[in-house]
Structures are given as C-alpha cells and as structure tokens.
C-alpha cells in the first residue's frame, strides 16, 4: 500500500483509519460527502502533508474516478450506516450502500486499482440459526434493507474479484465502539440521560444480546489482514472476516455499566418485545476464530469499550448537537 483511498474518511471509522494510516507513515486520500461525517475528526489529518481531502459523493462516478487516480488500495467505508430507519426510505440503502459500492468498483477498474477493503456488517446474517455465527453460515434470510444492501455490495465485490482479478477483503463488523462514536446505543442512551437522568427509554425489553468491538481493535484487524495479502492467495481472490470480540452482553448490562459510570439510577421504560426495531436481531454473536487464527486478538473487553465510548462522549459534547 503506497497511496490509500478511503471513502467515508470523515466518519467514525473512516477518520480513525485515516489517522492510524498517517501514523504508520502512509499517504492517504480521504473522500467524503459529509452527510454524516464530522469535519473536526479530520483536523489533525489536514495538518499532515501526506493527507489530501476530496469532498464528493459516491454517486458521482466521474468525480470519484478522478479522485482515486494514483491510489493503489481502497478502503470503502462510506455508507448509510444506520440500520434502524431502513423502512422509512427504502431506496437509501440501495443507493448509498449497493449502487455506491458498484461505483467504487468501477472507479477502481478505470484507474487500474485492484485491492479493496470493505466494511460490511454482522447484519448480513439476518437472524442466523448458527451462533456464534461463522463466515460460512448457511446463506442467510435478510431482515433489514441495510443488511440486504450490504450483501449485495459484498456480492459485487466478489464478482469483481473473480471477473477482473481484484483482491477483496470483506469485514463483517459487530457494532463498533470507541472514540469518535457518533451513532448507536451508547450515544442514544447518553444523550437521553443528559436531558433526563431519572428515566431512560429502552427499545425492546433490554434482553437483546449484542457483541461490540473497540475501534482500535477493529482497525488493527483490518490492517493486520490486508498487509498479509491473504486474499491474493485465496481461490477466488476474496477473503471474508468476521470482526468482533469473543463475548457478548445484554443491552441491560450495557445500561448498568453506563449508569454506574454516571452514578445515576434511572427508571427504565422498555418499549417491549425482544427487538428494538424492524430488522433488529435479538442475538448477534459472530464466530471470530478465522480472524484470530491469523494472529490478531482484541485488546479491550466490551465493558471497557463501552466505558471508553462514554468517556469520549462526555469530553466531546459538541458531537451530541451535530447529529
């Protein structure tokens, strides 16, 4: 990797990856339309001469193609990352996650770039009958438009690997936590509790079991695998990795840790049922044996990741206003 192109470079995960790669001495081109990206996340990067920011939209293929010129690796992270509101606007996931991924692949093809890392999701497994869920679980039934659009993106990448000799790394993340976290349950709970520390609205019954991974552990896994060139040796030139910790917790556990750290004891108002929204999976726990067999291991537990997230949100109140 000499010059790396990152879509979604101003987002939670993308901006963290920008800083990590610049810290490793790489040259990075960041691409973002700032739909959910945050300019302050790139303040440090913009002072680095090895970083260039190009503002643009993945749906603008000519501009995307121009911006990628000279790069030799693409991390495609830009997406509509919110699974919850899919049924409110059914074409958003299709456009932002599937068509956008096609555009990224076409822009790469036009520039002769063949190596790609893609942020997919554990949501692609729907409600798997196999738990912990391995990468080769039976082909899943989709339960969200977000998951469906990401599966479609994965499939396009696989076909480009086979058809055009691309080298693809597909990462199916559990929920990611940590510094620069701008969406998800810790954000929602903390924002609510700032407004009314005596009660908390919880979607579902709080018994949902979820798995989380700390942002720096997530980045370490992605960089560890891509620098080993594993996909270049794979039969179809594509490797899929679940990224998560070897544990899960209940939403209620998480609420307990957050409230303990804030020294409050709010009344919990559950909306009921074992799902928070359409497409919510009551039990997400991915089998991470494959990524761990490459020598990667997570450093933080889920509880530690949640507490670091909370500490960062407390120190960065501006982010609560910006979303």
**Nearest to ligand NAD of 174, 193 (CB atom):** 174
Question: Please, what is the minimum distance in Å from the beta carbon of residue 200 to ligand NAD?
Answer: 21
Q: Does 67 bind ligand NAD (CB under 6 A)?
A: no
Question: Please, what is the minimum distance in Å from the beta carbon of residue 251 to ligand NAD?
Answer: 15
Q: Of these, 53, 68, 71, 81, which contacts ligand NAD (CB under 6 A)? A: 81
Q: Does 10 bind ligand NAD (CB under 6 A)?
A: yes
Size of the site for ligand NAD (CB under 6 A): 29
Separation of alpha carbons 287 and 246, rounded Å: 7
Question: Please, what is the minimum distance in Å from the beta carbon of residue 81 to ligand NAD?
Answer: 4
Please identify, among the stretches 127-135, 168-176, 278-286, 300-308, the one whose residues bind ligand NAD according to the rule CB under 6 A: 168-176
Q: Does 78 bind ligand NAD (CB under 6 A)?
A: yes
Q: Does 77 bind ligand NAD (CB under 6 A)?
A: yes
**Nearest to ligand NAD of 157, 266 (CB atom):** 157
Query: Rounded to 10 degrees, what is the CA torsion of 302, 186, 141, 122?
Result: -40
Closest CA to 54 of 34, 77, 74: 34
Q: Of these, 4, 6, 13, 67, which contacts ligand NAD (CB under 6 A)? A: 13
Max Cα–Cα distance, the chain, nearest Å: 57
**Nearest to ligand NAD of 38, 111 (CB atom):** 38
What's the token pair of residue 268?
A: 């919990």
Please identify, among the stretches 29-37, 192-200, 276-284, 311-319, the one whose residues bind ligand NAD according to the rule CB under 6 A: 29-37
Q: Does 121 bind ligand NAD (CB under 6 A)?
A: yes
Q: Which residues bind ligand NAD (CB under 6 A)?
A: 7-8, 10-14, 32-37, 57-59, 77-79, 81, 96, 100, 119, 121, 173, 175-176, 182, 184
């Amino acid at each position: 990797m000499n010059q790396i192109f990152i879509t979604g470079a101003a987002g939670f995960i993308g901006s963290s990856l920008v800083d990590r790669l610049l810290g490793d001495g790489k040259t990075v081109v960041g691409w973002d339309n700032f739909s959910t990206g945050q300019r302050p996340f790139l303040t440090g990067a913009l002072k680095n001469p090895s970083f260039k920011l190009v503002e643009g939209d993945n749906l603008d293929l000519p501009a995307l193609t121009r911006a990628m010129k000279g790069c030799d690796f693409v991390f495609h992270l830009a997406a509509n990352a919110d699974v919850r509101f899919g049924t409110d606007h059914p074409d958003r996931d299709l456009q932002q996650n599937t068509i956008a991924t096609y555009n990224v692949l076409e822009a790469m093809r036009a520039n002769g770039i063949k190596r790609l890392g893609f942020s997919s999701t554990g949501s692609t497994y729907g409600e798997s009958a196999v738990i912990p869920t391995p990468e080769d679980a039976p082909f899943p039934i989709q339960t969200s438009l977000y998951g469906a659009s990401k599966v479609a993106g994965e499939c396009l990448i696989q076909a480009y690997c086979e058809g055009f000799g691309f080298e693809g790394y597909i990462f199916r993340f559990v929920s990611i936590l940590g510094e620069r976290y701008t969406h998800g349950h810790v954000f929602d709970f903390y924002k609510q509790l700032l407004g009314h520390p005596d009660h908390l609205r919880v979607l579902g019954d709080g018994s949902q079991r979820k798995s989380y991974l700390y942002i720096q552990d997530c980045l370490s896994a992605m960089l560890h695998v891509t620098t080993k060139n594993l996909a270049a040796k794979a039969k179809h030139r594509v490797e899929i990795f679940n990224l998560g910790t070897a544990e899960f917790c209940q939403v209620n556990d998480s609420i307990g840790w957050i409230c303990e750290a804030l020294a409050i004891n709010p009344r919990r108002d559950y909306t009921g049922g074992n799902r928070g929204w359409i497409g919510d999976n009551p039990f997400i726990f991915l089998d991470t044996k494959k990524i761990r067999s490459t020598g990667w291991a997570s450093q933080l537990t889920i509880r530690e990741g949640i507490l670091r997230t909370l500490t960062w949100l407390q120190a960065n109140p501006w982010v609560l206003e910006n979303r």
